[in-house]
Structure 1
Amino acid sequence: MRILYLLLLMTLFVSCSTTKRTSETSKAETEIEIVPQPEEILTNEKAIEILEEEKIDVAEFKSLIEKPLYEFMPEEIDEYLRFLYEYEPDLRKRVDHLAKKQIGQKYEIYLLGEYPFEIYDAQPLFCIDKSDCVVFSEHIYAMALSDSWKKFFAMLQRIRYKDGVISLLTRNHYTEADWTVNNSWLIKDITDSLPDVQSKKVITKIDRAKFFSKWGIGQNIPVQELKWSYIPSSEIQKALKYLKTGDFVNVVRGYTPEDVYVGHVGIISVASDGTVYLIHSAEPEVKIERLIDYMNKSLKLNKKREIENAEILKQNQEIISYNQKLRKENGGANHPDEKKLIPLKPYFYGFRFFELQENALENLRQIDGPKAPKITIYGEND
């Protein structure tokens, strides 16, 4: 029987490793193929034993390996996580495996909400077939920490919400002020601690009351003055050698080096030759590319943004003059026909890096207790 299992798995490995891309492949995408493929785990005795112990049908499991994660049904995710958690004890490798299995997942922003527990944002609490950058990262980390669908769903909410309390008010809306702070059991900020790498300190005011005002909640929340840091683009080359597979990366954007925010996130993957890759969800789909290539493209875009913003500033000056004329005609009061200023386009300034805590589950149990993750399905809306 074990010989039969092994033959089936070997067949599976060959079929997966020889699959060709149906879309046009660029030079960069071809080079990415040097990243080790996750299917390699399926060609040994341990895999066979796990499939037998978990009573997982080989033919069914073959179909799961052959299709991307974003096409899975919940029961298939349950089966896949049971196998992967048992087979691969290394959290970083599980993160890497799952992240790569999502490559090609369609991008769509603003996918998740609190429905049916709240109706302010009537989006669901999970999404498998599509993602934005945060949804992608949250789902990958939650799956990597779980050995079943039930645990994955609970872990996802623990990552998405402060203290696992499901509410619009407690969702981790601000990456720099909420997500990375409330998930310190999962990731550790290393932005300021990399040897010979100079970070830049900034201060940001977080006005949550203003953010929540359209729902009429959270109006008693005071403005937060957040002190944080990022690594400017000029220092990134020196930082690459300190990054490890599974680490979390924040993309810092803004309008001046001091007026910045986290505008994008992703997961690090380090190849066997030391090349640092970024796996992230962005238009049009989840992709993998060298982190340094992503940075260089962003810096090139900055030059285009300078020209665009110069034109926007010119147009805004005309709008200001137009609005002033209307107010003068209206006795100094605001006029209903006033035009809104055109927002400037943000520039890329650098990255923040967070080390994946390999003992994340132990850290969480110290907070939530032995039955972590702890989830609460109601919250205070005031």
Structure 2
Amino acid sequence: MQRYLSFVLLLSLLSGCSVFKPQPRNIFMEEMTTSPSYKISERIIPLSEPLLGLPYVDGGLGEGPNGQFDRDPLSRFDLFDCTTFVETVLAGAMSYSPSEFEHNLIKLRYQHGNVGFITRNHFTSADWIPNNQWALRDITQDIALDHTAFAETLIDKPAWYQAMQQDRLQGLPDSIDKTARLKTLHKAGKNLPKIYVRTPYVPLTALNQPEVLDRIPSGSVISMVRPNYDVSQWIGTHLNITHQAFAIRKQGKLFLRHASLRYKKVVDEGFVEYFSQYDKTSTLKGFNVQQPIEQALVVGH
């Protein structure tokens, strides 16, 4: 799709004529508002289909035009990172109008739906998953059964904030003193708690059993687990989760649909094929599974 959009734009520039350029947002919104299904998990595939091929860009979304630290837009449909892709599609699957979409997106991305850098669900294991149990249910142990493992670590939020540099401030006008604004951000982070997290996951070794794959529902959110992953020298803290995707079934086969750093775009990859690239020496040890709660569909539908 991205190559097609670039080609249409090029034709427009060369000819000087007005050319219709299809926008991912229009396709996404049309599918969201007209989908015949009321089941959230069934809406994941058709809603995310038009987004395949769109570019991966890290950190493309922020607090909007009035943001204190990041004035990137609250939503966009032309680029994604792994989590904003999951949030956008999941919010769309829960909604039947643009206003419902905006409400659900903000509620998924921010604690209690309060827009702000401090209240954003930055850490998947410490923020995003626990704060979104109104919309998701952790079924990891139902998938792995006796093979369930747990990743434990301490998310050091104060150290993460202190490690931030000025490039973390996005979209601020030149009239704002960025040095002072960064100091404000550092000060805000000092009072945040360190959070101990214990994340259940399906070990990669369990994928040798076909019944494990059979128990993973299409439309579920898959989070890649690296237990106690030490990236503190770069970002000030350890992590448990480093990537997110959707599990989808097509013609009886399980795939991962995700905004991929490796391919720099939204892609489908075979589920088993994706994980087979990681051997026992890798820091990636398994994945967490979150299933959308159908009751989370907005009132009125």
Native 8 Å contact 2:121 2:127 kept in 1 = yes
How big is the shift at 1:289? 1.5
- The separation in 1 between residues aligned to 2:113 and 2:228, in whole angstroms, is 33
Q: 1:149 aligns with which of 98, 103, 119?
A: 98
Letter in 2 for 1:292: V
Larger Rg: 1
Report how far residue 272 of structure 1 moved: 4.0
Residues 270-305 of structure 1 show CA distances to partners (whole Å, capped at 9, x for unaligned) of: 2342x2111000132111111100001233xx76xx
1:43-75 deviations in whole A, cap 9, x for unaligned? xxxxxxxxxxxxxxxxxxxx99xx6xxx3346x
Query: How far off is 1:179 after superposition?
Result: 0.6
2 CA distance for matches of 1:253 and 1:232?
A: 11
Query: Displacement, 1:254?
Result: 5.4
Determine which structure has the larger strand proportion and give its number. Answer: 2
The normalised TM-score by structure 1 is: 0.60
Gaps of 5+ in 1: 1-18, 23-62, 304-345, 363-369, 372-382
Gaps of 5+ in 2: 5-19, 165-184, 231-237
Helix, strand or coil at the partner of 1:354: strand
Does the C-alpha gap of structure 1 residues 106 and 186 become closer, same or farther in structure 2, counting only changes over 3 Å? same
Q: Determine which of 206, 209, 222 is the counterpart of 1:249.
A: 222
Equivalences for residues 124-273 of structure 1 within 5 A:
124-194=73-143, 196-213=145-162, 214=164, 215-216=185-186, 217-238=188-209, 239-253=212-226, 261-273=240-252
Greater share of residues in helix: 1
The answer to whether 1:105 aligns with 2:54 is yes
Closer, same or farther in 2 for the Cα pair 1:226/1:73, shift >3 Å? closer
C-alpha RMSD over aligned residues: 2.8
Q: CA deviation at 1:203?
A: 1.9
Between 1 and 2, higher relative CO (CA 8 Å, sep ≥ 6) is seen in: 2
Q: Which amino acid letter does the alignment assign opposite residue 118 of structure 1?
A: G
Of 273, 276, 284, which residue of structure 2 is paired with 1:348? 284
TM-score by length of 2: 0.75
- Return closer, same or farther for 1:260/1:150 CA change in 2, 3 Å cut-off: closer
CA contact (8 A) 1:77 1:148 kept: no
Displacement after TM superposition at 1:355 (Å): 1.6
Residues 1:83 and 2:61 are matched in the alignment: no
CA distances 1:114-145 after superposition (whole Å, capped 9, x unpaired): 13232312211112100011011000011111
Equivalence map 1:8-157=2 (5 Å): 71-73=23-25, 77-84=28-35, 87-157=36-106
Match for residue 281 of structure 1 among 259, 266, 269: 259
CA contact (8 A) 1:100 1:279 kept: no
Q: How many angstroms does 1:82 deviate by? A: 2.0
Report how far residue 359 of structure 1 moved: 1.6
C-alpha contact 1:247 1:356 (8 A) present in aligned 2: yes
